Structure 1
Amino acid sequence: MGTQNFSDRNCIEDRRYQKFYAGQVAHAYGFTPCVVKVNNRMFFEHEKEVEFLLKYKHENIIALLGYCNEDQGIIVYENVSKGRLSKYLMDMDPSITWMKRLKISIGVAKGCAFLHTSGVEMHGIEDIGLVINSILLDGDWNAKICPYSQSLLDEHPYDDAYNKLEYFRLYLSKRQGIIYSLGVILLKMLGGRPRHRWDSDPNVNIDNKMLFPGTKEPISQQSVITFENIAMRCLQEATEASEVVRQLEKALEFQVSFHNFLQKVTNHQDLNVIIIFRGVLNKKYHTITDC
């Protein structure tokens, strides 16, 4: 598997009961990069994960390249070179722009929609671990759901009152189903908290710096509102997974339109157009539809 006998130099993540290694899978045409997970305990979970990945195949669910059930539980995944999504959110990495967050969220929602229509919830999802830390990213920022990849305690060690609440909220999300869990993930993508004080008034200016510290990217207000509304619907009412995907794609369309509009105005030499544009911004409208 090209891990140099599980050398520490190839270890890319050392978790409580799991280690992840960068490796390579040999084939007739050479080598393909991969990620190898070694379970140090809980072999039953290893067997359930292998069974899950053999049964449920989708472009937004991590692909199983191989596994071994002897001694330690070993699973070989497709290459996810950018690692866990949670790291970028926790570090407030400005490279994960709103546009990327939208595309990643759509990928996660499509994976969840596939699971939701495949009967996973009939068998219970308590052990799958569908939380923000189970979302991995490949080299093109495509989301890959990686079930059983960590425990809630790994994501939110409850060493204070806040993390205790987070722990029980995430535990509840696992018990209530895939769509509820997806809503929790979407709120994490939005900055971890709902937009209570903004309601749905398109004239209210959204403080992008508060949502995404460090961002320099102009963000469409309608995009954010559409995104948050569907996230909250996932938590509050029965919502079809396909509708979640549609609303997230609509949020992406708003952002793309806004970006294209800014590009046209920035490159336009007509002074009248620039004056009109500035007047619109002064009124705190942020989308081409508002204009």
Structure 2
Amino acid sequence: MSLNDIKMGTKNFDYDNFIEDGIFWLLYEGEVTNTSVFVKRWFTKSHQTHIQFLTELDILFRHKHDNIISLVGYCIENDEQIIVYEHASNGRLKKHLSDPRLTWKKRLKICINVAKGLEFLHEGGVGKGDGILHRDIKSSSILLDHDWNAKISNLDFSCKETVYESPKHIDDKDCNSMGYIDPEYESGTFLTKKSDIYSLGVVLFEMLCGRPAWIKGCVDHSQSLGPLALSYYKENKNFDDMIFMGIKEQIAPQSFSKFYKIAIRCIKPQGKFRPTTSKVVLELEKAMEIQEDYETWEAKLPIDYKEIISLSKTQKIYDSIEMTRDLHDVFTKGILLQDDKVVKNEEATNFQQFLKSNSKQDQVSTRN
């Protein structure tokens, strides 16, 4: 792709087309050869910049996936190093975290997309080669297209699996990465796939809580969203207070439970207790299935169904039902109240049989 076309498409890198900057680059949007694109213009004053440029370019060439930002072209001309990506009209996920228009179902969809993209990298792509660590998963590294499909971007820090680096490298990264860094890596251990899983877990909690991992007032990692969520879990606090008000009423209880459990596992302090990306995908898809089922069947339940269940002697049985359609089936068959309490199905059946038996005996007595 020619430098002239890129300059024309970005109005010679005009400030009005500028989106954000990183340690090694500036990002613009524009239109090149009649296609809306993102343009990442790399600084050219250091050897490290050149390494990061080649790293990202190589990964984008070899790892093509629906949930990884696509390469449109690149340019190495007149000391310029530029990568051109597909455009994502809804921009970065971070700016939508506190937007109530981003419903719970949309949030689940985005989380599944990110987990699938990361799974693809971790498994080494189509050829199942060396696993790739992203190393910078965060809400500002996730782009959203017009259909709210998530695209993982910012692959310049990526590397092959199991690379040891001094935690001093973290200090060179901008504060936007604070709050996502694996505490094991921060303390000087090996960088692994489980480091990405920790970052992914933080993003999951950002989606649930409607806020960034690192907010004004945070002094160190311990005050960011990940450790805060983990403290709620360890102290058995009600997490309801942390859920974003804009989506709280939408979430099916069992969908929340499934999502919360896998998110907590992702941010476990020790990497060996964190799940694989495949497991995360599986659990998030289950949370989505439960949510979709809830939205379809909940409206068909009796208006006072929650009150009826609260009368049950065995409420846990009803609370353990994941799929709302199964709960609907229970109500369709009928709920028996005895002494203002809901009777279990087996008890209800026996009680109904008892009533029928007594009714027949009464009828016989009447005839006699």
TM bucket, shorter chain = 0.7 to 0.9
Judged with a 3 Å threshold, the aligned counterparts in structure 2 of structure 1 residues 99 and 10 are, in CA distance, closer, same or farther, namely same
- 1:196 alignment counterpart: 233
Cα distance in structure 2, aligned partners of 1:72 and 1:107: 33
Give yes or no for the alignment of 1:88 onto 2:108.
no
Residue 99 of structure 1 aligns to a residue whose secondary structure is helix
Displacement after TM superposition at 1:149 (Å)? 5.9
Distance 1:111 1:275 in 2: 42
Amino acid across the alignment from 1:255? Q
Within 1, Cα distance between the matches of 2:279 and 2:303? 37
1:275 to 2:289 alignment:
no
Shift of 1:216: 6.0
Partner of 1:254: 290
Give the 3-state SS of the residue equivalent to 1:129 in structure 2.
coil
- In the alignment, the residues of structure 2 paired with residue 49 and residue 17 of structure 1 have an alpha-carbon distance, to the nearest angstrom, of 12
Task: Specify the alignment match of 1:186 in structure 2.
Answer: 204
What is the CA-CA distance between 1:280 and the residue it aligns to?
Answer: 4.7
SS in 2 for 1:93: coil
Q: TM-score, normalised by structure 1?
A: 0.76
The letter of the residue matching 1:112 is L
- The Cα of 1:63 is off from its aligned counterpart by 0.2
Q: What secondary structure does 1:83 align onto?
A: coil
Matching residue's letter, 2:283: Q
Q: Which residue of 1 aligns with 2:183?
A: 169
Residue 130 of structure 1: SS of its match in structure 2? coil
Structure 2 CA distance for aligned equivalents of residues 95 and 198 of structure 1:
32
Q: Determine if contact 1:223/1:252 at 8 Å carries over to the other structure.
A: yes
Measured at CA, do residues 10 and 230 of structure 1 come closer, stay the same or move farther in structure 2, by a change above 3 Å? same
TM-score, normalization by structure 2: 0.61
Match of 1:196, SS state, is helix
Structure 2 match to 1:144: 151
Letter in 2 for 1:34: V
| Structure 1, unaligned runs of 5 or more | 158-162, 266-272
Taking a change above 3 Å as real, the CA distance of residues 228 and 198 of structure 1, as seen in their structure-2 partners, is farther
**What is the CA deviation profile of residues 184-218 of structure 1, one whole-angstrom value per residue up to 9, with x for unaligned ones?**
3323333342451796xxxx9863x6311333642
Post-superposition Cα deviations, 1:141-199, rounded to whole Å, max 9, x if no partner, equal 11101133689633437xxxxx6x76563954992314344333323333342451796
- CA shift, 1:60, in A, is 0.4
CA distance in 2, matches of 1:188, 1:170: 21
SS of alignment partner, residue 60 of structure 1: coil
Contact kept, 8 Å, 1:98 with 1:217, in 2: the verdict is no
AA aligned opposite 1:96: L
1:99 Cα offset (Å): 1.1
Q: 1:24 & 1:189 partners in 2: Cα distance?
A: 31
Q: Secondary structure at the match of 2:250?
A: coil
Q: CA deviation at 1:12?
A: 2.5
Task: Return the match for 2:72 from 55, 65, 70.
Answer: 65
Return the letter of the residue paired with 2:28: Y
Count of equivalent residues: 266
Instruction: Indicate if the aligned counterparts of 2:124 and 2:132 stay in contact, CA closer than 8 A.
Output: no
Map of 1:99 onto structure 2: 105
Taking the aligned partners of 1:171 and 1:100, their CA distance within structure 2 comes to: 31
Task: Label 1:86 to 1:58 Cα distance change in 2 as closer, same or farther (>3 A).
Answer: same
* Aligned mates of 2:207, 2:248 — CA distance in 1: 17
Q: Distance in 1 between matches of 2:30 and 2:261?
A: 41
Which of 229, 237, 245 is the equivalent residue of 1:213? 245
Asked whether the 8 Å contact 1:222–1:251 carries over to 2, the reply is yes
Pair member with larger Rg: 2
Whole-angstrom CA distance in 1 between matches of 2:305 and 2:199: 43
Identify if the C-alpha distance between structure 1 residues 67 and 143 changes in structure 2 by more than 3 Å, giving closer, same or farther.
same
Tell me by how many angstroms 1:275 deviates. 3.4
Query: Per-residue deviation at 1:130?
Result: 2.6
Determine the C-alpha separation between the residues in 2 that align with 1:66 and 1:81.
18
| Backbone CA RMSD of aligned residues | 3.5
Q: Aligned-pair distance for 1:279?
A: 4.1
Shift in Å at residue 24 of structure 1? 1.8
| Greater alpha carbon shift after TM alignment, 129-138 vs 183-192 | 183-192
| CA distance in structure 2 between the partners assigned to 1:275 and 1:46 by the alignment | 60
Does the 8 A contact of 2:122 with 2:131 survive in 1? no
Contact 1:109 1:244 in 2 (8 A): yes
Q: Which has the higher contact order (CA 8 A, sep 6+)?
A: 1
Structure 2, unmatched stretches of 5+, are 1-5, 158-168, 210-224, 329-368
The superposition leaves residues 258-284 of structure 1 with CA deviations (integer Å, 9 ceiling, x where unpaired) of: 22234445xxxxxxx323355458989
Tell me the percent identity.
39
Q: Secondary structure at the match of 1:190?
A: helix
Q: Aligned partner of 1:12: which letter?
A: I
Q: What does residue 270 of structure 1 align with?
A: none
Give the direction of change, closer, same or farther, for the CA distance of 1:170–1:97 in structure 2 (3 Å limit): farther
CA distance in structure 2 between the aligned counterparts of 1:218 and 1:238, rounded to whole angstroms: 28
